[in-house]
Amino acid sequence: MYVYRNKERKDFSEALNIYLEEWRNSDLVAFRDYEKLPDRIKDRIKSLNNYPQSLRDGFEGILELGFLVDELCSHVINPTGSYNSYSKTTDELIHKINRKFYELEILYTY
């Protein structure tokens, strides 16, 4: 049982969804920007479509990174499960994103 806004909620997902709904309806620009992040990333990746063949692996790495960020955004915007499962999935996705950033940085920056 979770308590949010002085009311008992059946589980973590319900409490988190109420919080996110309040955030969506607030004047905060941050949530709206966060919701738009996957589309902005897709647009950037699409703009890279005419890459030289020598950068094919790099493009595919960026594409994979975009998929991971999209998955994380969807997971955060539409939370499900218990606190433990939500936290575990979030941590795993963040780890995968950080690892992919590190890999791309090592391979493609000078």
Residue numbers in the chain where pLDDT is lower than 70: 1-2, 4, 23-35
What pLDDT, on the 0 to 100 scale, is given for residue 28?
53
Whether 76 is in a domain gets the answer yes
Number of domains in the chain: 1
Tens of pLDDT, residues 86-99: 889 999 999 999 99
- In this structure, is the dihedral angle defined by the CA atoms of residues 70, 4, 91 and 82, taken in order, positive or negative? negative
For the chain, counts of helices (H) and of strands (E): 4, 2
Closest CA to 100 of 62, 72, 46: 62
What pLDDT, on the 0 to 100 scale, is given for residue 99?
94
Residues 101, 65 contacting (CB under 8 angstroms): yes
Whether 10 is in a domain gets the answer no
Residue numbers of the domain that contains 93? 28-108
What pLDDT, on the 0 to 100 scale, is given for residue 24?
66
User: In DSSP terms, which residues pair with 54 in a beta bridge?
Assistant: none
What pLDDT, on the 0 to 100 scale, is given for residue 107?
85
